[in-house]
């Protein structure tokens, strides 16, 4: 593992909504550079930057038209290189968002692949051999585009209709038009993506968060083909860029760790039960105390078993694809959610704006965001009349409208209030960094988690003989709880709300609290 990950707390920046320095209503890379010290003051020392490359922006940049050129609305390649340099000068690291599964229909590769005459890009995408060929339910193919090219064929799409699937081959070849994983065209696609990674790693990028990482090889029911593909990618990186970090959007750590990724993400979809904690009708972290964390814990335990204790899962406060955490939890409840996020294994991720409790907005879809658009509104930096300090553009020209509420949270107000959510997040990050037992790879053991019950108690243990042990007790419910616990506390490291106590084999956890106890 790259050693800097041992100390990393990530901050996800959606560049178009972060900080606008040229008054066009859209955030840009110079704006990110301008706010690096803010991110560092919060305590985050690593960035995940959402796609900032040339794109028609039908899917907010996840429809890439040139992997190796920054979109002019964000700046230039030189600006991105300067961001790497400025981050490194502050001891920070930057992951770019790699979208290897599909491109935009505007990508030159795709335009060439549409030609009737064969060329080096004819096999770059998943094409059928005839425009009338039925595709049916081919696993991994989420529909096709027909009638858009002079070429006789239909092209598979990954998500939106304008996102044609790149061809990494089929694990099981069942039709004449399907390529094997080791076919020249599938291997050429793989090499092209290695070239993209090399391009940015040479310029100072520290690695990639990989979009839809488990989707590359088609008809791959156990994903063994995709695992093998990423093992090859990792071998390439280990040879040329051994410090390059890969974090996957996959949600199955038993596969991703084997595939060569450093960590996997807990996702808003899939089997993790992450949403049970934060985003459902009765979130476990709500003070109403009607939630259930047991399925989440059972799944987490299973992932630990499947990976021999290495099931490193990044737990985000949210991301650009989820409703804002504030939609379900108020700032006081969010403090307890962050206490959990900052005390679990793997690298925590803070979605920009969550640290001040930005709200999820009811706004019209922008650039393919649909309901996700409400989580992508520009950051509210201060109380200035001009767009909360985000941009000097006229308000009606902003990329997405901002929170119109009189009580809209702002960074400056949160930073001025020592009791704010912002300061609690800062304190929790500092606690994590100062406490070896709360680190990335320290062991975790769930001591108490019962169905539909509170609190959640887990033990973090620093690896190695005589390693530090910290008991984490979190009770979001508005009622106190007691559980048996045969341990002895040395001191309270930190608490959110009233501190829990551990006396005579009983752990007493006050209502609406989180406590970190160092054990003997």
pLDDT digits (tens, 9 = 90+) for 451-466: 999 999 999 999 988 8
User: Helix (H, G, I), strand (E, B), or coil: what is residue 295?
Assistant: helix
Average pLDDT over every residue of 216-240: 97
Determine the Cα angle at 272 with ends 268 and 275, to 5°: 45
At residue 501, the pLDDT reads 97
CA distance 179 to 335: 50
CA distance 397 to 382: 19
Are 456 and 449 contacting, i.e. CB atoms less than 8 angstroms apart?
yes
Tokens representing 181?
């994983």
CA distance 491 to 209: 38
Average pLDDT over every residue of 185-214: 98
Are 482 and 473 contacting, i.e. CB atoms less than 8 angstroms apart?
no
Tokens representing 340?
């959990």
pLDDT in tens, 73-108: 999 999 999 999 999 999 999 999 999 999 999 999
* Closest alpha carbon to 345 in 374, 295, 380, 304: 304
Asked whether residue 166 carries a pLDDT value surpassing 90, the answer given is yes
pLDDT in tens, 122-148: 999 999 999 999 887 889 998 999 999
User: Helix (H, G, I), strand (E, B), or coil: what is residue 268?
Assistant: coil
Q: In 319-420, which residue ranges form alpha helices assigned H by DSSP? A: 331-341, 411-416
At residue 118, the pLDDT reads 96
Q: For residues 401-413, b (16+ Cβ closer than 10 Å) or e, as one string?
A: bbbeeeebbbbbb
Class of domain 3-100+187-432: alpha beta
In the chain, which segments carry CATH 3.20.20.80? 3-100+187-432
Q: Is 82 exposed, middle or buried (0-12, 13-18, 19+ CB in 10 A)?
A: middle
CA distance 517 to 502: 9
CA distance 25 to 394: 8
pLDDT, the chain, mean? 96
* Residue with the larger pLDDT of the pair 2 and 242: 242
Q: Is 191 exposed, middle or buried (0-12, 13-18, 19+ CB in 10 A)?
A: exposed
CA distance 103 to 165: 7
* Residue with the larger pLDDT of the pair 288 and 305: 288
At residue 323, the pLDDT reads 97
Are 388 and 402 contacting, i.e. CB atoms less than 8 angstroms apart?
yes
Average pLDDT over every residue of 363-390: 96
pLDDT in tens, 385-427: 899 999 999 999 999 999 999 999 999 999 999 999 999 999 9
**In whole angstroms, how far apart are CA 114 and each of 242, 263, 484?**
37, 37, 67
% of the chain residues with pLDDT over 90: 94
Are 315 and 273 contacting, i.e. CB atoms less than 8 angstroms apart?
no
* Closest alpha carbon to 476 in 507, 450, 509: 509
CA distance 132 to 473: 60
At residue 2, the pLDDT reads 64
**In whole angstroms, how far apart are CA 203 and each of 3, 93, 216, 466?**
20, 13, 26, 42
* Residues facing 156 on adjacent strands: 144
pLDDT in tens, 56-66: 999 999 999 99
**In whole angstroms, how far apart are CA 222 and each of 106, 171, 185, 216, 432?**
32, 10, 23, 13, 36
In the chain, which segments carry CATH 2.60.40.1180? 442-519
At residue 134, the pLDDT reads 87
CA distance 390 to 11: 18
Q: What is the CATH number of domain 442-519?
A: 2.60.40.1180
At residue 416, the pLDDT reads 98
Asked whether residue 238 carries a pLDDT value surpassing 80, the answer given is yes
**In whole angstroms, how far apart are CA 321 and each of 27, 242, 380?**
18, 30, 19
Asked whether residue 311 carries a pLDDT value surpassing 80, the answer given is no
């Amino acid at each position: 593992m790259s050693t800097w990950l041992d100390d990393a707390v990530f901050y996800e920046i959606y560049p178009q909504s972060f900080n606008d320095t040229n008054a066009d209503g859209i955030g840009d890379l110079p704006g990110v550079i301008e706010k690096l010290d803010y991110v560092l003051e919060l305590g985050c020392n690593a960035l995940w930057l959402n796609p900032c490359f040339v794109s028609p922006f039908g899917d907010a940049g996840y429809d890439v038209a040139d992997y190796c050129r920054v979109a002019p609305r964000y700046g230039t390649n030189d600006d991105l290189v300067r961001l790497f340099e400025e981050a490194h000068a502050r001891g920070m690291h930057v992951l770019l968002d790699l979208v290897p599964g599909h491109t935009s229909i505007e990508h030159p590769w795709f335009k060439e692949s549409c030609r009737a005459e064969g060329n080096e890009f004819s096999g770059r995408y998943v094409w059928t051999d005839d425009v009338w060929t039925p595709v049916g339910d081919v696993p991994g193919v989420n529909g096709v585009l027909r009638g858009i090219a002079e070429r006789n064929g239909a092209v598979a799409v990954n998500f939106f209709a304008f996102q044609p699937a790149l061809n990494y081959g089929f694990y099981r070849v069942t039709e004449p038009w399907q390529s094997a994983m080791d076919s020249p065209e599938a291997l050429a696609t793989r090499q092209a993506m290695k070239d993209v990674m090399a391009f940015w790693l040479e310029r100072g990028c520290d690695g990639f968060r990989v979009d839809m990482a488990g989707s590359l090889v088609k008809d791959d029911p156990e994903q063994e083909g995709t695992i093998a593909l990423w093992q090859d990618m990792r071998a390439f990186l280990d040879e040329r860029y051994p410090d390059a970090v890969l974090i996957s959007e996959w949600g199955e750590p038993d596969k991703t760790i084997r595939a060569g990724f450093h960590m996997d993400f807990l996702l808003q979809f899939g089997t993790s039960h992450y949403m049970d904690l934060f985003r459902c009708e009765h979130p476990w972290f709500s003070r109403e105390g009607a939630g259930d964390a047991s399925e989440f814990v059972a799944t987490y335990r299973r992932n630990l078993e499947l990976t021999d204790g290495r099931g490193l899962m990044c737990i985000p406060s949210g991301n650009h694809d989820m409703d804002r955490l504030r939609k379900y939890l108020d700032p006081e409840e969010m403090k307890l959610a962050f206490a959990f996020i900052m005390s679990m294994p793997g690298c925590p991720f803070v979605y920009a704006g969550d640290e001040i409790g930005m709200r999820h907005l009811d706004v019209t879809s922008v650039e393919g965001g649909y309901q996700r658009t409400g989580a992508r509104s520009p950051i509210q930096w201060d109380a200035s009349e001009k767009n909360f300090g985000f941009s000097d553009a006229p308000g009606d020209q902003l990329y997405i409208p901002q929170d119109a509420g009189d009580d809209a949270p702002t960074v400056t107000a949160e930073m001025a209030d020592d009791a704010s959510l912002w300061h609690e997040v800062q304190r929790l990050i500092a606690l994590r960094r100062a406490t070896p037992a709360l680190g990335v790879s320290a062991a975790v053991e769930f001591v108490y988690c019962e169905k539909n019950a509170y609190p959640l108690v887990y033990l973090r243990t620093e690896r190695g003989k005589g390693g530090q042990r910290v008991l984490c007790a979190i009770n979001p419910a508005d009622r106190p709880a007691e559980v048996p616990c045969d341990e002895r506390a040395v001191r309270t490291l930190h608490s959110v709300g009233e501190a829990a106590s551990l006396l005579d084999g009983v752990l007493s956890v006050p209502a609406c609290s989180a406590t970190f106890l160092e054990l003997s």
